[in-house]
Amino acid sequence: MQNKLQELTDKLYNEGLSKGKQEAEDLLAKAGKEAAGIISKAKEEYAQIISKANKEAEDIRLKMEMELKMASKQSLTALKNQIENSIIASGFNKPISEVTDKSDFIKSLIETAIASFNPKGGESVSLSLLLPESKKSELDSFLKSDIISKLKGGITIEFDKKISNGFKIGPLDEGYHISFTDKDLQQLFSEYLKPKTREFLFAGK
């Protein structure tokens, strides 16, 4: 009887031990699978993070490169414009200012401007003429003998202190004047000469 009891006890012990070992192995295997899954997921997330970081870094590099190219191009354009303006200003602005300050030039230009407003055979137009206050004594006799007496449509002449040289002319009742001052002529010549100057200085660049 004692032997059977011992055998039963040993059997139960061995079965419990075997079952415990199996459960432990199952848990260990499950833990191993879960750990492998966690590691795999972590590697995948790491790869995604690295890929995203690389893309963002490349986007930043391309953007900076584009901005640097644009800034360089703008700086070069500004420098070219500065050179053009400097050459034109030094070569033409002073002579133009000197010419538009001469009474003979103003007289000739006034006659040409008036003729364009009053073509031969056309209807006479009443004009408004603004002149420099400083030229009043020099132009007075010319205006009376050559302009006022010959212009059928009539003309209103005013001397303005705000005009330093040249003149302004326009239809009397239209409310506008076409300006022929040194600055206007400088602008006109500048717009014409800039392409020529640019072509001469920067051809092929």
Domain ranges of the chain: 97-202
Domain 97-202 is found in CATH 3.30.2320.30: yes
DSSP 144: I
Cα-trace Rg, the chain: 48
More confident site: 122 or 154? 154
Question: pTM value?
Answer: 0.45
Mean pLDDT of 19-31: 69
Containing 45, the helix (H) or strand (E) segment is helix 2-88
The two structure tokens encoding residue 55: 């893309």
Distance, in Å, from the CA atom of 182 to the CA atom of 111, rounded to the nearest integer, reads 17
Residue 203 clears pLDDT 70, i.e. is over it: no
Residue 113 · residue 179 · CB < 8 Å = no
The two structure tokens encoding residue 170: 């326009």
Distance, in Å, from the CA atom of 79 to the CA atom of 73, rounded to the nearest integer, reads 10
